[in-house]
Amino acid sequence: MWNLNEVIKIEYKNRYVFHIEFDDGENSEVDFEEYIQKWPIFEPLRDINFFKKAVIAGGTICWSNGADIAPETLYEKVTK
């Protein structure tokens, strides 16, 4: 279950992987390649240089084109 935790740190690792850390200390590497292949909003992220420019906003990871991943989805991936 999601505990309303927010992303507090992201660190690019390689290809489509960021290390994600939440405010409760949970952290792990998350591969975003599955998203890039599924929805048009994520197509610009195929450019690794653009992908690397992710920021934290609204408690989650996001990109300047409006793409983001719900924090509860990320939290589930991090805590699996």
Query: Average pLDDT over the chain, rounded to whole?
Result: 94
What is d(CA 56, CA 63) in angstroms, rounded to the nearest whole number?
A: 9
Write down the residue that tokens 């939290």 correspond to: 75
pLDDT in tens, 2-28: 468 999 999 999 999 999 999 999 999
> Domains, the chain, ranges and CATH?
7-79 (3.30.2020.10)
- Entry pTM: 0.90
